[in-house]
Structures are given as C-alpha cells and as structure tokens.
Amino acid sequence: MYRYDEFDARIVKERVDQFRGQVDRRLSGEILEDEFKPLRLQNGVYLQLHAYMLRVAIPYGQLSSRQLRRLAVVARDYDRGYGHFTTRQNIQFNWVGLKDIPDILESLAEVEMHAIQTSGNCIRNVTSDHFAGAAADELMDPRPWCEIIRQWSTFHPEFAFLPRKFKIAVTAAEHDRAAIRVHDIGLHIREKDGVTGFEVLVGGGQGRTPHIAALVNDFVPETEILDYLEAIMRVYNRHGRRDNKYKARIKILVAELGHEAFTRQVNEEYAAQRSHEKIDLPEDEIERVNAYFAPPEFADKPAVSKGFERARAADPAFARWAEANLHPHKVPGYASVTISLKPVGGVPGDATDAQMMVAAHLAETYAFDDIRVTHAQNLVLAHVALDDLYDVYRELDAAGLATPNESRITDMIVCPGLDYCNLANARSIPVGQAIQEVFKDPDYEADIGKLHINISGCINACGHHHVGHIGVLGVDKKGEEFYQITLGGRADEKAVVGDIAGPGLKADDVPGAVKRIVDTYRDLRTSSEERFIDALERIGHEPFKEAIYAAD
Amino acid sequence: MPLIKDGTEAEDTWTFVSDEDELSTGGCISVTLARLTQDGDTLLSRNTQLGVRLSPEDDPAALEPFLDRLALIEVDFPKYTDGRGYSQAQLLRRRYGYEGELRAVGHVLRDQIFYMNRSGFDAYETARADLNSVMEALSEYSAVYQPGADDRTSVHALRHKS
C-alpha cells in the first residue's frame, strides 16, 4: 500500500498545526462559528445531534494493521469504545470533544492518516473497489490512480469552495463494486492499444434527485486524466448552481444543461488549456505510485486447500460462513474475506476498539497487513490463504465478527437516522434491526441469496435506498414516521434508481412487507440460482408491489 | 478597508464606482465589467489608471481585449463560500496572462487566503485578517500537490527533478 514520502508527511503534519490554530481561534472567540464551520468541515468535523463528530479519511478504504490499531486507540481513548465505518469507506467517531480533535489528528498523522476534505464543499475521499488488487475480474489495480487523484485533489486551490460536495470513485473491474455510476465522477480504467486510460462518467448521485452518471468521454489516456478532471471541475465550479443547495450537485448541472451541452463545455475547456496550464503528470510519478501497490509475495499454492476442505466438511458453521463471505482471488490458493459488521441486532458499520484490534491482528498475521473498508460498511482482508481460513474464522467468530451474510439480506446499508443525525426525519437503525430479525435464520437467509436492502432516514439518501434491490426511505408525515419501499435499484454496472412501490408503511409494517416481497421472489424464481434482482427484472415489479400491500 | 498587497499593508488608491454612480473626475477607478464593455474606449482615454471588478458570474474571457490596459482586477467574493473567484483568477493569470494587480475583495477571510494566493491573487482587501495572520496563512504549507498561479513548485516536480 501507499506510504507517505517526506512531502506527504509534511503536508499532513502542517494540516494538524493549522487545524490546531483554527480550533484555538474558535475556542478563544477570535473567529465566529459561522466562519469556523467551513474550516472544521474541510477537516471532517461535524456538529451532530449530541456532540461533535469526527470523520477520518480512509483513502479508497485502504488500511494497514498499524492504522487500524490507531483507530481503535482513538475509539477507546476519545470516543465511547467504538467507531462507525461509513459508505464512503471512511470512519466516524461520534462522541469526540472539539478540544481533543487536534490531538487525535496528531496521533493519526503519526500513522499517515488525516481527516482532510472528509466533508465540506470540496473533493472528498476517493473511493474504489474493496477487492482492488485481489479480484479475479479486474483489468489492473485501481488504487494507484486513487492515490494520484487523492494527492491532486488535496488542498486544490481552485476547487476548495465548490457549489457542493464532490465525490469521485474509481474501478477497474467489469463488475462494478465501487458504484461509480452514482458518483459525481465515476472512472473506469480501460486499456486501448496498449495505453491505460479512463472511461469518464459524470453526474451520478443519490439524494433528493437521484441520477445515473452520463458518459462524457469513453477514453482519456492516463497521462491526461488529471487535466481532464480539472476541466470538469472548472465547468462545475463556474456554472454549478449556488442558489439552492439541493440543486447544487453536478448531477443537476448535467441534467439542466443536457448531457451533450455539458460534454461540449467540458471538452471545450479541456481543449482551451494551454501547455503551461497542464499538470503534465510525469510517467515517473505514475510508476512511483504504482510501485507501492505491487502485489505481495504470494506463496505457490494449489487451487484447492485440503485443510480448508476438511474444516468445511467438519464444521457446518464455518462452511456457511465460507459460502457467504469469501470472494474469489486472482491467485490460486487465496481468497478475499469479508468481515461482516452487520450482526443481527447490531448497528451496521460499527466496530468496537477490541474488534478493530482483532481485525488488525488477523491482517498482520494472515493477510499481508492489508485491510479494506467496503462501501457496504464491512471490512475485508483482501489476501488470505485458503489454508489459513479456518484459523481466521475462529478468531473472527470469537470476536463476534463472523456473521455469514456478505451481500445477503441482513447485510444492509443503513444510515444513522434520527438516532444520531440532525437531518433525519425517521429512525433507520431500529427498522433495519427489525428486518434482520425476520431473516435471522441462517438457512432461510442463505436460501434467499444475494439481496441488498438499503435504508435511509431521510431523502438525503445516505443509506443509498435508491440503489438498494429493496430500498426503504423514512419520511415524516405530520409527526409520524412512514417508510416508502422502492424496488429494483442497483449501484453496479447496471446501475438504476429503484421504483417507488406505493404509499408509505408504518415502521411496524415494514418487516412483514419485506418478508412478503422476499417470499414472492422465492415462489416465482426459476431456481435458487436466479438472484432476486434478476427475477425482478424478468418478471417486473407488479407481483412484488402487490405483495407489499397484501397484509392480512 | 485595509489592503494587504505583496506581503505588506498598502495604501488603497483605488475607488470602485458602481454602475449607478457618476465617474469622478480624477484618481484611479475600477468599474464593473458591464461598464467596461460598454464605455471601454471612453474610460481608457481618461488620463488615469483603470481597473475592473468582476462579479462571480462574470466571464473573465470578456476582459481579454482590455488586459494590457488594466492596472487592477478586483474579484468579488460576496460570500467566502462562493468559490467562482478562484476559477476567474486562475483563468486570468494562467490562460489570459494577466500580470497586473489581482485583488480579492468582499468576504475575504484569513483561511481562504492561501487558496487565493495559489490561484493568482496578490492583494487582499479584508477587515477580518491583519498582516500577521495573512503572512501566517500564506506560510502554513511548505509543499503543494498542484501547479498553480503562484510560484510554488508542485510536489510532482520536486519528486522527479532530474
């Protein structure tokens, strides 16, 4: 993984000093809260319902065990013993004191971490495929490009006060696990005539007005990508709406101008760049960053592990976990392991300091010191030998981290909702827990197979309900919480916004309605091989909508 | 309002004349882009220096024909959160080659000045930051990741200088 050189280290250190000064000036009253707000926001500090919240950047979801241990220490010493992994592959601490934040940031800087641009109207943490460098279906490892973009976007002087926040995602695999089509910019790494480049999609997003990103350029060569991104950003910075924050995302600019006019403006701006305006990313720099992501020294192993097969045959719980939580690896004899942070009845994405320590220990012992955070709010050990899986599993299980549900119905994306967030209209975590309760029988859940339920507590859609196979949106009607169900959304390479199924339901009716949707699927599927989302596409939404309202 | 220019406190010799006001007879004045494009020739034939003040929605390309005759361009930040002025500055400096004074006016705060400087501003009209704090803000970072309109060398270039 990437390591800071002297320049990176210095910039992050200087950021800590700068923020310490800003906090001092705020605490002394020299600057007003209103002026402090964008400063703290560009450093990941929010004022939440109950306290300050600190969001720490985990660039493209990549962590070393040393870093994860440090996060555990922050959770233990400054928070209430846990942290919350987010859909942007970051981590949030919900109960920190403002005066402690400079010390926390200093401690994080020691392990090459920061909170730069994790909020505010600027370019946010670049996200990526959580199986990057391990997945059998990727063209190449996208992480070097995420790192190059991270550096380019850090303190970019022109784009620090955009109309609204800005999110970039990068993938290099045909199966899109980074949800690039619902990002402000989605980049898909391609190869053309031996040259690496990017397919560029712009204007995706969720929130109040969900949009799927439009193709703006089918191939921008790698040495030109930063210049091309600058052209997009400049068009957005100059012409994005600033009169209404709900219309300020780039998706609205793309929609209002129209795909063609927007693309033309970007290409004109790009063509107008004079040679001295170009970033001219040096080939040497691309090579330098790539070198940090060289594959680890995998052992030469057979594709089948006798130990793994034996353990699977002997321990049904392990077999069930292995069935759900492993992902094929490009190297024979290895797998990628999902550590589920979605136990039934838990808070999705939460991990205690002790659990973080366990994951860090496992990464160090068995997984080349490499941990990922997924946008579905789980952790991943990207490279584990099949021979070691049973040992890994037993340690995970002892720490309450072996829920066998990756991409299954209880593996939900759920926003914090009314319990934590001052934007929310409705609770989301308790609704998610009530749905989990219905599907907690592991055999039942296994039979249902892959199915994404996403829950948001308001139309800002932090729980990604628009792109859940089943989406649940909490709304407030005259002081009472109601939940709208959407069907058929997805965030992958076939990204589409789900359809609203009909009138909202009361919280108590949601689990039953979801169960009827699922049982309708089980009745109508061609076989258990046909996934829920494929059955929905084949059959249409009608029978499922009927099922929602078919309460006895 | 206090003016900080080229790293010192400077006397402000300029007057901004809004579209509703009559032009004064002497002294350095700056006008809106609309007035400049309408009465450019008359204004430029005056015996004093001329400047222009851009609003966020103005297109700096419209200044191209005037650039070598303008002694001041003011870029207005009505709210510090409106970042369009950074793009205007970058365009003026790097694309159109403007070399005169580029002044940030309006809601100019200490913690925006680093970005302003990197985007090409060399003067700041601000009631919210004194000289010391401006100089401090300009020196908070010793390395930068992007080329800009200032004279800092980007980290890319430093890493690979041969």
Residue pLDDT, tens place only, A54-90: 999 999 999 999 999 999 999 999 999 999 999 999 9
Question: Do residues B52 and B30 lie in contact, with contact meaning Cβ atoms separated by under 8 Å?
Answer: yes
Please enumerate residues of A whose Cβ is less than 8 A from a Cβ of B: 5, 7-8, 10-11, 14, 17-18, 22, 35, 38-39, 121, 151-152, 154-163, 234, 237-238, 242, 272-274, 276-277, 279, 281-282, 284-285, 288
Q: Which of A39, A154, A284 sits opposite B145 (nearest CB)?
A: A154
Query: Which is it for strands A470-477 and A499-500: parallel, antiparallel or unpaired?
Result: unpaired
Among A251-260, B15-24, B99-108, where is mean pLDDT lowest? Answer: B15-24
Tokens of B45: 């034939």
- In angstroms, the Cα distances linking A14 to A102, A109, A393, B120 are 12, 10, 41, 22
Whether the CB of B132 is below 8 Å from some CB of chain A: the reply is: no
Whether the CB of B81 is below 8 Å from some CB of chain A: the reply is: yes
Under an 8 A CB cutoff, do B156 and A155 touch?
no
Under an 8 A CB cutoff, do B146 and A234 touch?
no
What was the pLDDT predicted at A401? 98
User: Is B75 in a helix, a strand, or coil?
Assistant: strand
- Rounded Cα–Cα distance for residues B105 and A56 (Å): 34
Which residue on chain B is closest to A7 by alpha carbon? Answer: B143
- Rounded Cα–Cα distance for residues A327 and A317 (Å): 18
Residues of B in contact with A7 (CB under 8 A): 143, 155, 158-159
Question: Do residues B112 and B86 lie in contact, with contact meaning Cβ atoms separated by under 8 Å?
Answer: no
Amino acid found at A372: R
Which residue on chain B is closest to A162 by alpha carbon? Answer: B83
Distance from CA of A285 to the nearest CA of B (A): 7
Nearest residue to B113 via CA among B11, B1, B12, B7: B7
Q: Is the pLDDT of residue A258 over 80?
A: yes
Whether the CB of B119 is below 8 Å from some CB of chain A: the reply is: yes
Confidence of residue A49 (pLDDT cuts 50, 70, 90): low
Q: Which of A14, A160, A282 sits opposite B140 (nearest CB)?
A: A14
Residues of A in contact with B54 (CB under 8 A): none
Under an 8 A CB cutoff, do B159 and A161 touch?
no
Under an 8 A CB cutoff, do A160 and B115 touch?
yes
Find the angle CA(A460)-CA(A466)-CA(A468) to the nearest 5 degrees: 125
Supply the mean pLDDT for chain A: 96
Q: How long a stretch of residues is chain B?
A: 162
Residues of B in contact with A154 (CB under 8 A): 145
Under an 8 A CB cutoff, do A11 and B145 touch?
yes
User: Is B3 in a helix, a strand, or coil?
Assistant: strand
Q: Is the pLDDT of residue B46 over 90?
A: no
Residues of A in contact with B56 (CB under 8 A): 242
Residues of B in contact with A237 (CB under 8 A): 83-84, 86-87
Residues of B in contact with A282 (CB under 8 A): 156, 160
Nearest residue to A372 via CA among A183, A100, A91: A91
Under an 8 A CB cutoff, do A11 and B95 touch?
no
ipTM: 0.97
Percent above pLDDT 70 for chain A: 99
Give the pLDDT confidence of A321-375 residue by residue, as tens digits.
999 999 999 999 999 999 999 999 999 999 999 999 999 999 999 999 999 999 9
Percent helix, strand, coil in chain B (nearest 5)?
A: 35, 20, 40
Under an 8 A CB cutoff, do A7 and B143 touch?
yes
Which distant-in-sequence residues (6+ apart) come within 8 Å of A494 by Cβ?
none
Give the pLDDT confidence of A458-512 residue by residue, as tens digits.
999 999 999 999 999 999 999 899 999 999 999 999 999 999 999 999 999 999 9
Residues of B in contact with A151 (CB under 8 A): 145, 155
User: Is A545 in a helix, a strand, or coil?
Assistant: helix
- Burial zone of A300 (CB within 10 Å; 0-12 exposed, 13-18 middle, 19+ buried): exposed
Query: Which is it for strands A52-56 and A379-385: parallel, antiparallel or unpaired?
Result: unpaired
Q: Which of B81, B118, B146 sits opposite A279 (nearest CB)?
A: B146
Q: Which of A157, A282, A285 sits opposite B118 (nearest CB)?
A: A157
Give the pLDDT confidence of B99-156 residue by residue, as tens digits.
999 999 999 998 899 999 999 999 999 987 789 989 999 999 999 999 999 989 999 9
Distance from CA of B140 to the nearest CA of A (A): 6
Match 């955009």 to its residue by tokens: A162
3-class DSSP string for A6-30: HHHHHHHHHHHHHHHHHHHHHHCCC
Under an 8 A CB cutoff, do B140 and A152 touch?
no
Question: Do residues A135 and A336 lie in contact, with contact meaning Cβ atoms separated by under 8 Å?
Answer: yes
Confidence of residue A552 (pLDDT cuts 50, 70, 90): low
- Rounded Cα–Cα distance for residues B124 and B115 (Å): 12
Distance from CA of A9 to the nearest CA of B (A): 10
What residues pair up with B144 in beta bridges, in sequence order?
B154
Q: Which of B142, B145, B160 sits opposite A282 (nearest CB)?
A: B160
Residues of B in contact with A157 (CB under 8 A): 86, 90, 114-119, 146, 148
- Residue ranges in A273-379 assigned as alpha helix (H): 283-292, 306-314, 316-325, 353-366
Q: Please compute the mean of the pLDDT values over residues A406-419 and round it to a whole number.
A: 94
User: Is A415 in a helix, a strand, or coil?
Assistant: coil
What was the pLDDT predicted at A230? 98
Question: Do residues A466 and A498 lie in contact, with contact meaning Cβ atoms separated by under 8 Å?
Answer: yes
pTM assigned to the model: 0.96
Amino acid found at B83: G
Confidence of residue A421 (pLDDT cuts 50, 70, 90): confident
Question: Do residues B155 and B143 lie in contact, with contact meaning Cβ atoms separated by under 8 Å?
Answer: yes
- Rounded Cα–Cα distance for residues A360 and A369 (Å): 8
Q: How long a stretch of residues is chain A?
A: 552
What was the pLDDT predicted at A33? 84
Under an 8 A CB cutoff, do A5 and B114 touch?
no
Whether the CB of B112 is below 8 Å from some CB of chain A: the reply is: yes
